[in-house]
Structure formats: structure tokens, C-alpha cells
Structure 1
Amino acid sequence: MSDAAIFVLVLGGLFVLRFVLATVFFFCILPEGDRCINCDAPTLRVQRVFWHRFVPWLRPSWCYHCGWHGLLRTGPLTPVDTAVKPPPPPVKAKQQP
């Protein structure tokens, strides 16, 4: 092999390695679960056919508290509070003398 071919292969290999390492690094720093990264509130999953079909380990999410939207890794979901809360006591009007 010529020196130019070896140079192109090594430089191309380093470029591909840099891309793979950056992708793995950014995947690892994505939070896991359904909590917002800004306000720690539960987020809503946004249905996107592309993401679900081609990248099923990521979930596009939207936070209805602060408006953040982005990608999260699939993980444990926040349990939904389904308990019925009692209504607040009625407010009594003050009688005038």
C-alpha cells in the first residue's frame, strides 16, 4: 500500500472513531426515565413515528410545566397518583352585624 492510502485509512478511521465515541458519550448523558431535566416534573411522551421506529431506545418528551422538549432514554416511569382527594371544606360567609 502506498503512504497516501495508509494516511487516508488512518485519518478516516480516526474520524469514524470520533463520531462513534461522541455518539456513545451523548447517549450516556441523556437522562433515563420520564422526568424533565429542567424542573424534574413528569413529562409527556410525544408520539413520533420516526423516533419510535428507528430509535426505540429514545423517547421524545415534552414538559407541560416548563415547556422543555427533547429526547430522554427509555426508563422507569413516574407512578400516577390515582387516589381521589377529598374536596376542600366549604368557605363560610361572614354575617354582618
Structure 2
Amino acid sequence: MPHGSLNAFKATLARKKARDRKKKSLFDTKTEGHNHSTEKTEYNFPKVSEEELEEIKEGIRRKFKNRRRKNLVVTLFFFLLFIFLFLCLLVLVP
């Protein structure tokens, strides 16, 4: 057996081990970045009065209603366009 092939084999094994270590460090669940603490997270939200809270809720509801209406109009437009094009194809291709 030539001397170079054993050295090349060792180098290949070393590169493979280095790749495996790198992969393991990327996907190692023990070293993930999130915290496993049992303490509850405390948030510092500003205090809001009931009237302001109702205004915020109404604003969110209005935005949701407007978005839902817009989605309905766009969907109906494309549906009617599809039907129109389909009927045009039926008329043009006897």
C-alpha cells in the first residue's frame, strides 16, 4: 500500500469529522438559543383605560371588516372574470 493513500484517507476522515461537528453544532438541541426557564415572562404593557381599550378594539374590528370586504370583492372579481373568459372560449370555439 503506498504511503500517500493512508495519509489521504486520514485527511478525508478528519474533514468528515469536522463536517459532522459543524452539523451537530447547528442542530444540537441542547445548545438552542431559547430559554428553558420555569419563570413566567413579565411584560411591561402600558396601562389603558376601558374607553381607550374599547376604541382600540373597534379600530381592530373595522380594519378586519374592511380587509374581509376587500378580499371578497377581489375574489368575486376574479371569479366573474374566470366565468367570462370561460364563456368567451365556449362561444369562440364551436
Higher strand fraction (1 or 2): 1
TM over 0.5, shorter chain:
no
Question: Which structure is larger by alpha-carbon Rg, 1 or 2?
Answer: 2
Q: Structure 2 length normalisation: TM-score?
A: 0.36
- Normalization by structure 1: what TM-score? 0.35
